[in-house]
Structure 1
Amino acid sequence: MVCPRCQSQLAPGVKFCAACGAPVQGGPPHPPQGTAYGPTGGYAPPNQYEEYTNSMFGNAVPKGELHNPKGPLQIGDMTISIDGELVPVVDIMLGNQMPIYFEHHILLWKHPGVQLGFKSLQGAARRFFAGLQVFITEAQGPGNIAFSRDSVGQIVALRLQHGQTVEVREHQFLVATGNVDYNFTFVQGAANILFSRTGMFIDQFTAVNGEGLLLLHGYGNVFEKTLAPGEALDIEPGAWLWKDPSVQMTTTTVAGSQRGGGILGAIGGFIAGSSFLLNRFIGPGRIGIQSMTYHPPQAEGAQQAGGQSNTNINLGDLFS
């Protein structure tokens, strides 16, 4: 078996040439008989395109793939697989057409044929003065590339339809396809900035040219809640992962999160393990929740274990 581009000898069954990165005829193996196919024709795991029944979404938005999607995800000319359990790995077979971009410091391996460069972001001046990254890394195929965050958790795959936006906690996005716009929005309200453990900014991702794919890393296990209009849910600070823009975020005290109870109710909340302040999310829309509360990145060698009290505020962290 030889490479059609450079004529190098190839091992049986490979998908890309190890010398030049050219795709080898044959491509990925066919999915098992009876499996489902998505709207682009690629293999889709069961329920990946299940509709949101009896909800505001109808069939316009596919359900998010939580808990490390088990089957290959096909979008454009790339195939994405999630491998591993405790510390999952996003393994991507890139084609020649659609690039991807990714968060810094998460690259695990790549084929020599995959080209890395920089993707400039919109609003570079605003991002610079806000202290956010102005450039992120972009990868162009063909070839294989993989990513992993150094923490126990699960991968969430969100398929974004054209024009659809989701908002994500900073430093928890892994990879996005090149047709997904990456922007940011300011957190509204001083209480949210000081006590929500979110900081001053929230990442925004919008599909701008057809269907796009966004992959997130959630700490621990990840769950999704759908809130009706006006419905509220109080969540431990640091536990929210992503949300629809229609979901409002505020803060409340543990005493204010109950119907009465006064000081005894607040003490009961503390005994239950609650923080003094909680994030309150008000629908309509979806919200993703992680079972391990998020801890901002720290310098190497810094203490990592233990919870973080949101009553002890390090103002420097707000602007890091």
Structure 2
Amino acid sequence: MNQLPTLMPTSATDETYGGVTYHIGGELVPVLSVDVSRQSVFFEHHILLWKNSNVKIGLRPMKGALKRMMAGMQIFVTEASGNGVIAFSRDGAGHIVPIHLGRGEELHVREHQFLAATANIEYTFERVRGISNMLFGQTGFFIDKFRSESNEGVLWLHGYGNVFEKELAAGETIDIEPGGWLYKTPGVKMETVVDRLTSGFFGAGMNFIVNRFTGPGRVGIQSMYVNTETADN
């Protein structure tokens, strides 16, 4: 039997990496708490749950702001710094996953799944064109790219349901429902596969669509998909 995807840790206590100490707790709607005394973090503005009063909030512009604005996406992220702790939570049942990025490491993440990251991580994006665009709302399909260029850093993602990770060997493939993939390492190739299913009854048929990932590298899978374009309206 092939190795199954592995459930990612669902909690963390006094975890220190990339200049911060953080905690993840809670079951249905988890909370991420980060001590920003030594390293600031940036995050999506609507996920703030609470903070110590001496933690300061500012704006951090993103690269490619004009393209993002034309696509209806955010052009700023919020940044927290100061002597204290700040806590984040997304309005949805799910799983907060910490990804430790070493120097020079990069991760590709589906849009709207980013939660927070240490300030030493570079945040860019790429638009993916093709048939998969039909599955991801009016903005098309964007992949957020996070890279730790010169120092270690932490990236926190929110997956709906639970998050599992599959390690793919070179040439190994896995097919994932389009709403199910959460992240991948750069070496993993992603393509859309469409199978035409026909019943032979008056020519009735349908398309069966999956995203095929080919290793080597890691792929994150979320067990529940929420259409954020619909949920936010």
Structure 2 vs 1, CA of residues 200 and 151 (structure 1 numbering), >3 Å: closer, same or farther? same
User: How far has the Cα of 1:299 moved from its partner?
Assistant: 5.8
Which residue identity is paired with 1:246? G
Which residue identity is paired with 1:194? M
Q: State yes or no: 1:244 paired with 2:185.
A: yes
What residue is the counterpart of 1:91 in the other structure? Answer: 33
User: How far has the Cα of 1:142 moved from its partner?
Assistant: 0.8
The equivalent position to 1:200 in structure 2, one of 141, 144, 160, is 141
Counterparts of residues 53-132 of structure 1 (less than 5 Å): 66-95=8-37, 97-132=38-73
Task: Say which structure is richer in strand.
Answer: 2
Which residue identity is paired with 2:13? G
Q: Given the two structures, how large is their TM-score scaled by the length of structure 1?
A: 0.64
What stretches of structure 2 of length at least 5 have no aligned partner? 1-5, 200-204
Structure 2 vs 1, CA of residues 254 and 69 (structure 1 numbering), >3 Å: closer, same or farther? farther
The equivalent position to 1:191 in structure 2, one of 112, 126, 131, is 131
CA distance in 2, matches of 1:253, 1:66: 29
User: How far has the Cα of 1:196 moved from its partner?
Assistant: 6.3
Preserved CA contact (<8 Å) 2:55 2:86 = yes
Q: State yes or no: 1:137 paired with 2:69.
A: no
Structure 2 vs 1, CA of residues 78 and 99 (structure 1 numbering), >3 Å: closer, same or farther? same
Structure 2 vs 1, CA of residues 237 and 76 (structure 1 numbering), >3 Å: closer, same or farther? closer
Preserved CA contact (<8 Å) 2:122 2:146 = yes
Preserved CA contact (<8 Å) 1:156 1:217 = yes
User: How far has the Cα of 1:65 moved from its partner?
Assistant: 9.1
Q: CA RMSD in A?
A: 2.5
The equivalent position to 2:221 in structure 1, one of 265, 269, 289, is 289
Mean CA deviation greater in 176-185 or 240-249: 240-249
Q: Given the two structures, how large is their TM-score scaled by the length of structure 2?
A: 0.86
Preserved CA contact (<8 Å) 1:196 1:251 = no
Which residue identity is paired with 2:227? H
The equivalent position to 1:168 in structure 2, one of 104, 109, 116, is 109
CA distance in 1, matches of 2:15, 2:195: 41
Greater relative contact order structure (CA < 8 Å, 6+ sep): 2
User: How far has the Cα of 1:279 moved from its partner?
Assistant: 1.3
User: How far has the Cα of 1:203 moved from its partner?
Assistant: 0.4
What residue is the counterpart of 1:29 in the other structure? Answer: none
CA distance in 2, matches of 1:299, 1:68: 24
The percent of aligned pairs where both chains have the same amino acid is 47
CA distance in 2, matches of 1:278, 1:69: 30
CA distance in 1, matches of 2:144, 2:74: 11
Q: State yes or no: 1:214 paired with 2:146.
A: no
Preserved CA contact (<8 Å) 2:18 2:118 = no
Larger Rg belongs to: 1
Preserved CA contact (<8 Å) 1:65 1:156 = no
CA distance in 2, matches of 1:178, 1:147: 16
**Cα deviations by residue, 1:84-118 (Å, 9 ceiling, x for unpaired):** 111100011221x3110001310000111000000
Structure 2 vs 1, CA of residues 279 and 77 (structure 1 numbering), >3 Å: closer, same or farther? closer
